[in-house]
Structure 1
Amino acid sequence: MSALPSPEDVKSARLITEAEWKKFRLDRQKLSAADIESVGGVNGVLLDYQKKLLATTAAHRVTVCEKSRRTGATWAVAADAVLTAASEKAARGMDVFYIGYNLEMAREFIDTCGEWATIFQHGAAEVDEYLFEEEPGKAVKAFRIRFASGFQIIALPSRPRSLRGMQGYVIIDEAAFHDDLKELMKAALALLIWGGRVLVISTHNGVGNYFNTLVTQARGGNGYGLVRFDFDDALHDGLYRRVCMRSGDEWSLDAEAAWRKGVIGDYGEAADEELYCIPSEGDGVWLPAPLIEARARKGIPVLRLERPNEFTHWRADLREADVRDWCERELLPLLRELDPALPHFLGGDYGRISDLTVLWPLAISRTMRRLTPFVVEMRNIPFDQQRQVLKYICDRLPRFSASKHDATGLGMSTAEFAVQTYGELRTEAVMLNIPWYRENAQPLKTAFEDDMIEVPFDLDIHSDLRLLVVKNGVPQVPALKSGVMKNRHGDAAVALMLAYAATRALVALYDYESARTLRESTRGEDTADAEDMKLPHEGLY
């Protein structure tokens, strides 16, 4: 299977127009627009590129698959897993071990396997959630399905030691995003000795990622099976037809071309890597798209304030009144809904014309999850009104505990205002640099991985989070634009990182107790000379 127009020229594939795409689709098979809907075996259960993947895993002990995002590869692999585990030993049946990089992937794969088992009418027990003992005295959550053959499908955590002592077919999904793929592969390859198989499947995550090394080795002829399909390959084989079958929409070549353009636009600069199997320069994407999507929650408002250029030249009192009306109309109802018992924090990243100003509050729930109540984005707003919105929010955040603000470049003025207004005890002006990112980026990523944070279900914010790449081991904002309209620069990602860093700061919050209350709590012991004396009371968050 070759890409459209070709693997060597794949970078231009995402730049072709809708009309050019339609011409490619017609010329490749010399079919009419009416006939093209039958291309790719769309009447079958699996599309052609999915069939090729399963045929390759059957023929090779180790298979490496580089793929586009959202093409149903894992869905097809789940069918392979069921057919393998449901078969008797004489028919090459064996246990199947699925390893994703987070718990949601594991559960989703097992659920998909259950659906395939029903379709194939293979007897399988219900999904079993249990504690898998990695080593004596240490257990982690895992999922499995048992079959009448005596074999089972088990979704294991992404740790090399999980495979020690196992035997069977290992599937490492989205391999480029595992913490230690090299060690995981060493553990998986040991299963080959007694007839096991290994499938390594992923989108790319940088040229320096070990997954790209595996692809290069397989392409160099080391005996591994290699499968590659990009977004256009999947479309040619009937991906959009399958999407229409599920959604109930009517397929047409015009609709497919428009859909293709929209998907590529959604991914922006990340399309080469996410859709066309071209690893990015540097060590790779910092937050993979599936992880961002897993933490996204619908219903979290993203408020966007923008004014025309002439707004800057309005009288100060008119500008202030306009923004105050916006705050009372848009912000105040949200602020009144916040839980007064939870501590609240804030991160601010500041811009003026080309970049956004983003204010990102976070609350810490009783289970220590970081909750996003809303996000505010401002474009082309004068600095005075940016500070007005910032103060409006901070003055009304319940138990406002700490904030961190970008003090580099244009952010210095507003960051200084925040420190002067709320004090150095709970406010920090941050000079964003490599050491700061090195110290504060990983805790935020860990929160994503451990399901300890919620972010808005918003395409532009997702684009900002995807923009960050790792270079020399440190997440950085590249010189690229993000967002649907390419008018952002990772602004929301920086604001979130600042907000999360604020939630991790040990902040001394001062409250007061009267001497009478303090004496009563200490059973009448004299702790002050005057009953009305106020004493500081500290609490750490």
Structure 2
Amino acid sequence: MALLMYQKKWIDDRSPVKFWEKSRRIGASWADAADSALVAAMSKEDGGMSTYYLSYNKDMTKQYVADTADWAKKYDLVAGEMEEIVLKDADKDVTIYQVRFASGFVVQGLSSNPSNLRSKQGRVRIDEAAFVEDLGELLKAALALTMWGGDVAVISTHNGEESEFNQYIQDIRAGKLDYTLHRTDFDEALQAGLFKAICGVKGDTWTQANEDAWREKTITRYGDGANEELFCVPSKSGGSWLTRNLIESCMSPEFLVITWEPPADDFVDWPLDIAHAEVEDWCEEILLPLLQELPQDCKHYFGEDFGRSGDLTVLAPMTEYDDLSLYIPFLVELRNAPFRTQEQILFYMVDRLPQFSGGALDARGNGQSLAEFARQEYGADFIAEVMLSQTWYREQMPPLKAQFEDRTLLIPKSAVVLDDLRGIKLQKGIPKPPESSTQGKEGQRHCDSAVSIALALFARNTIEVDTEWQCASAGGGMSQRIISGY
């Protein structure tokens, strides 16, 4: 049976520490055992070393070592049979399993007691890590082996949002830990050929209809636990993703939220030159003084969450100081703003951001046009057109939470901003805005400022340009071209 792509990717990752959040029964441990057999068969000069497998379940440790022995036979490696060794102890005898290779290295299955790793040297595999008694202590003991060239692999399905395993996953995504992260849910495994591989082992004929039926049967069997067991979604604990205290601790009353609204119901029908002049006057009066106060020697980024007649468009400029602290000095809310007005205000702001270094815009639906205009104006190297999706929220919201937790992001002190951030909820394990908007005292909102701030942080974290962007004019853009000649 050939290894599937996600199994090969896992084996090819030679990071000192790697994590894998996964669906059940996709062959993760089985594939890892293949790698352990090959590494144990090598000489020390070629990088060979022993592997120590730990989990909460005795049967799992026995199975891993048995799989290693089977792989050794398939690879025609010189190794013994699996041994069962009973270690006498005053309190309780301990059974371990091992395969010894001609190289002198072993693959050994142990219980999840951290003391089992004392005086060991080699690789550590912690399986179903979300279910071990004290993952933190176990991982701490395992990391000691990396000092001498070993590596640590942590594999598990989820066991609730509050589990230590999930906290590690979130910290990795937030960039707090420099571990590599793999993720394979049930559907991703099927797309990679899992059911075809199962059919090959069982001697069954694969058809798409059979795979679809097997998928539905498997999901039904897990019932309410399917999301966690199969789709890498830790079970919910409820409540807001960001607490009020955490948000308010990162708010400054010196920072403002400013709002532009049409001066009249028929503003969209005004002649373009008059509408442009009206918006220009607002920018000069309200926006320019805030822009002039920005530090000239700091890099600036921005994020934009798009809305038109319902939700708001929110522009979030971001200042990065020398100590890497980040400020959102003000937020610009555009309510019911015509598309050309949004472009005009956006370009007015960006043209005056000192050391402008990048921006990220919501490119879903109608927002795609404004994102495209920005890319054409400032260049593809400086502008990220972001299709907000579950994957984007899953990967990019944890860094936002990390900034709040580290108190390295300061935002305007505003009730609407607080509500937007508290509106982010965990949905199937992913922090994101709810599906529908909410109606507040000041109109409809959809976590708009929260998303714009997250996009600004995304721009800062991902856009790297060697040269500083230079503004060619004080205004410009589509709006100025449109009114040319008036």
TM-score (norm 2): 0.47
TM-score (norm 1): 0.43
